[in-house]
Structure 1
């Protein structure tokens, strides 16, 4: 458990450094080719990363909650949910997370926040309606494990850094396609243009692979941690079976936040390529692992 927390801290630092470097390079290429301000582009890229990083760290969870259409609920509104969250928070040894609900009949849940002191657990109304007590405890324990293990910080940073790097690469690619007349004649050398095109194309692919790899492993680890909290792997197994049988797409979900959920909320693709690049491991494999615990 402690090794996972330490690993998450290391991965967070490496991700921040790696994506920051990538964004700065993209800013430099964009400025060098189109505006003849390569050096200024480096400075602007660094300033942007610092500013964006501060916003993402302190307000990232609120942004995710707003995008997801989640609303906070108080104990008097749903004492059943609060009772489950409070009991598992005590078992996990973390402060009680805030509770949010997405008004959607799809079966899903996720956790977010920058640390356990600012943790949030979000469930859909469908989860509350269709899961029994043991199944709900399994799902909440899974999300509580993400909070305890600092997965929430790592995944929130992945969300915002992937978003900004993909945005800049898209701007760069569109500039190549539609801004040919605005390129700086003095600095738009062919090697630099080739580099810019390569970065614009490869950045989203690299970002997707990194997000996929981190998300898949974290789901397996959270499943295992959840069984340690509940001492009842059958509860989570049964919940995952019900979730896998739910074919409804969560309307508020999108590709930027899909990796946060306990199960892929989009559920609209089942092809080989989509399975290979999915941010979630197959539920069947997760259930199989749980059955051996």
Structure 2
């Protein structure tokens, strides 16, 4: 999906975002199958490889509706609440023109000159020089900058940083980033689930228990 120019880059990002969302469901099915395969082996270690593969496939068919609903629910939650999660992790908070007139005016002027809807402006308390954009649609778009960046850069430098983040929004790079984070969250969730199930919680084998659980 090579891109040659701004509009093809935007179109390519939209295509990649759709592919990533479809890939999320495929990834969930693969992870469920892998988990079922591990469970079949742990529970009964005396069967052949083909038996394990067939049993895991049967488990996947049974679990597929629940996995599909779970993946869809994950996407819905991420769509509506990803910004709250980002703010909770980074400590970012929205600011108004009255609170940050210099920063707000710089961003507003950039948006007006480029015909871009004004995203929310947020600041996180950090001495680092950093900024990032987030959001999945015009109503959610936000640009977060660190307090260190605001304090140490002049207007021209801050304007360049804000213009860079606006470019990420306009090009659709932000949507891809959020979707990638959603996928990473699914992988992390399944990894944590498998670890707790097989190494901390214990797995029942032939009347006993195997794993890290204590009796």
Q: TM-score, normalized by length of structure 1?
A: 0.58
Name the counterpart of 2:25: 20
Q: Distance in 1 between matches of 2:204 and 2:14?
A: 43
- 1:110 matches 2:132: yes
- 1:10 matches 2:19: no
Cα shift at 1:174: 5.0
Q: Distance in 2 between matches of 1:12 and 1:108?
A: 25
Name the counterpart of 1:49: 71
Q: Distance in 1 between matches of 2:126 and 2:184?
A: 27
Gaps of 5+ in 1: 185-293
- 1:85 matches 2:107: yes
Q: Distance in 2 between matches of 1:94 and 1:137?
A: 15
Gaps of 5+ in 2: 1-5, 41-54, 207-215
- TM-superposition CA deviations, 1:55-96 (whole Å, max 9, x none): 111221221122111011111001101111101112332101
| Secondary structure of residue in 1 paired with 2:81 | helix
Contact 1:34–1:182, Cα closer than 8 Å, also in 2: no
CA 1:178 to 1:38, structure 2 compared with 1: closer, same or farther past 3 Å?
farther
Cα shift at 1:135: 0.5
The 5 A counterparts of 1:177-216 are 177=199, 181-182=203-204
Larger Rg: 2
Return the match for 1:155 from 170, 174, 177: 177
Return the match for 1:172 from 173, 194, 210: 194
| Secondary structure of residue in 1 paired with 2:133 | strand
Q: Distance in 1 between matches of 2:153 and 2:86?
A: 25
Q: Distance in 2 between matches of 1:183 and 1:92?
A: 64
**Which protein is richer in strand relative to its size?**
2
| Secondary structure of residue in 2 paired with 1:42 | helix
Contact 1:71–1:100, Cα closer than 8 Å, also in 2: yes
Bigger RCO (CA 8 Å, 6+ sep): 1
Name the counterpart of 2:141: 119
Q: Distance in 1 between matches of 2:204 and 2:163?
A: 54
Name the counterpart of 2:82: 60
Name the counterpart of 1:38: 60
| Secondary structure of residue in 1 paired with 2:117 | coil
Aligned length: 185
| Secondary structure of residue in 1 paired with 2:107 | helix
Q: Distance in 1 between matches of 2:146 and 2:87?
A: 12
Q: Distance in 2 between matches of 1:24 and 1:90?
A: 45
CA 1:165 to 1:62, structure 2 compared with 1: closer, same or farther past 3 Å?
same
Contact 2:129–2:148, Cα closer than 8 Å, also in 1: yes
Q: TM-score, normalized by length of structure 2?
A: 0.78
Q: Distance in 2 between matches of 1:145 and 1:183?
A: 56
